[in-house]
Structure 1
Amino acid sequence: MATTKSWAVHLLTASGAGLALLAALAVMRGAWTEAFIWLGAALFVDAVDGPLARTVRVGDLVPWFDGAILDLVIDYTTYVFIPALILARSDLLPPSLAAPGAVLVAVIGALYFADTRMKTRDYGFRGFPAVWNMVVFVLMVFMPPPLVSAAIILAFAVLSFAPVEFVHPVRVQKLRPVTLAVTLAWAIFSLLSVFASLEPGALVLAGLGATTVYLTVIGAVLQFTRNENAY
């Protein structure tokens, strides 16, 4: 029975590959809202499979099957590769920069996933943690001028290898209740944006923008205050 539960968790993780394929098919049709629905479903799976795996103790029950590798494969596909595909196929970037921008995201994301120093001592992330699915989603909702989008993509690519910390919304203890609340609010505003076919009203845009800014900068703020207190 316990082994069955272990395989059920692994199957749940692997379902992210199917969700990624459905998202890719939607991208090829230019069905952006549908693509983000599948990516959102994959994000939900990624949020719940880790706690389930630790509860069931999948590593002890099926020690020859590496769920961490499976998780990394799925995460790269849904967090990096599909968002890069969206960049290549949408109008977010100038036409001459669409393919190069997508390649940049795919390559930088692959390098980041192989960096064993990505986690900090308090379980945050060192450098931008390759959550390109969220970056591309927010850009698709706000649709800034293509050159602005290109500048944002380049900035996050550079930040991937910068000594700047980004918060893990669940595991970082400092300000955890606030960060969890903001993360939940971000998810709600994102859902409302999807329900509005990526064209929400001003209130939702303001909420999505404010929560995005918080989640983007709070890690660096905590890093700065920690360093200041060290002196």
Structure 2
Amino acid sequence: MGDEGPAATPVRRAAAWAVHAFTASGAVLALLALFAIQGHRWTEAMLWLLAALIVDGVDGSLARAAHVKTFAARIDGDVLDLVIDYLNYVFVPTIFMLEAGLLPAGLALPLAALIQVSALYVFARRDMKTADSYFRGFPALWNVVALYLFAAGVGGTVAAAVVSAFVLLTFAPIHFVHPFRVRDYGAWLPALACLWAAATFGLLWGPGPALRSALLVLSSVAGLAIVAMGLWRTWRGASSAPAG
């Protein structure tokens, strides 16, 4: 007998639609971040964007577990995910950088335009990911860029250089990992991603200066280690590990 998959039941259908609703909550988080930006509540805005990043990090696993393509097939989860990701990874962080004055005044709008256009390339390309679930080029994580520019308090010249570099890396033949899809590093990669999220959350929560510096270092080191895993994939080529 062939494998026909799990049988459709009201509970399974409800679970699949609940996962879609969980993904859609990212749009609400984007709205909350925009309201915080409007009120110049910078840390609150970053916390909403961090929450959206966590939702996006786990909703794919939930979708596969709930068989959303079978039990809630009316909704294209991939399209839903891309729309919300563009809001939370690109559009809202760009508004954050503009409103918070993180970019130099004379270059702020041109840099913001470059972010938008380069990110469209990422979201529209058909080969965004490799067969082993690595992103090709910088995957438009402008929420993370904005977070570090804000947390580190760098000047406008440095911020302009950082933004320009990541725009160029969007088109570079390098790889970035997906923390919960890449299987090359076993449990180490998702554990490192969780460490990064915890350190970053603590950093934004407003600790004292000494603890803030330590958390900034821990968050940065964890983030650089994740980036290094992707660069190692570029150097060594694809492995035989199955995609997530």
User: TM (normalized to structure 2)?
Assistant: 0.87
2:41 match: 31
Matched, 1:7 2:7: no
Q: Deviations over 1:10-47 (max 9, x none)?
A: 11111111110110111111111110111122112212
Q: For the residues of structure 2 that align with 1:225 and 1:207, how far apart are their CA atoms?
A: 27
2:116 match: 106
Matched, 1:140 2:150: yes
Contact 1:108 1:160 in 2 (8 A): yes
List runs of 5+ in structure 2 lacking aligned partners. 1-9, 239-244
Distance 1:225 1:198, change over 3 A: farther
Q: For the residues of structure 1 that align with 2:212 and 2:78, how far apart are their CA atoms?
A: 39
2:79 match: 69
Q: Deviations over 1:181-214 (max 9, x none)?
A: 3212211110111111796532112212212222
2:162 match: 152
Contact 2:200 2:216 in 1 (8 A): no
Runs of 4 or more off by more than 6 Å in structure 1? none
1:210 maps to a residue whose letter is V
Q: For the residues of structure 2 that align with 1:198 and 1:190, how far apart are their CA atoms?
A: 14
More moved, 190-199 vs 8-17: 190-199
Q: Deviations over 1:149-181 (max 9, x none)?
A: 111111111111111111122222222433223
Relative contact order, higher structure (CA 8 A, sep 6+) = 2
2:212 match: 201
Distance 1:117 1:63, change over 3 A: same
Q: For the residues of structure 1 that align with 2:232 and 2:208, how far apart are their CA atoms?
A: 30
- Bigger Rg over Cα: 2
Contact 1:101 1:153 in 2 (8 A): yes
Of 86, 97, 103, 1:93 maps to 103
1:73 CA drift (Å): 0.5
Q: CA RMSD in A?
A: 1.8
Q: For the residues of structure 1 that align with 2:187 and 2:223, how far apart are their CA atoms?
A: 16
1:16 maps to a residue whose letter is G
Contact 2:57 2:180 in 1 (8 A): no
1:167 match: 177
Matched, 1:217 2:236: no
2:137 maps to a residue whose letter is G
Contact 2:58 2:180 in 1 (8 A): no
Q: For the residues of structure 1 that align with 2:63 and 2:110, how far apart are their CA atoms?
A: 37
List runs of 5+ in structure 1 lacking aligned partners. none
2:65 match: 55
User: TM (normalized to structure 1)?
Assistant: 0.91
> Identity of paired residues, percent?
40
1:226 match: 237
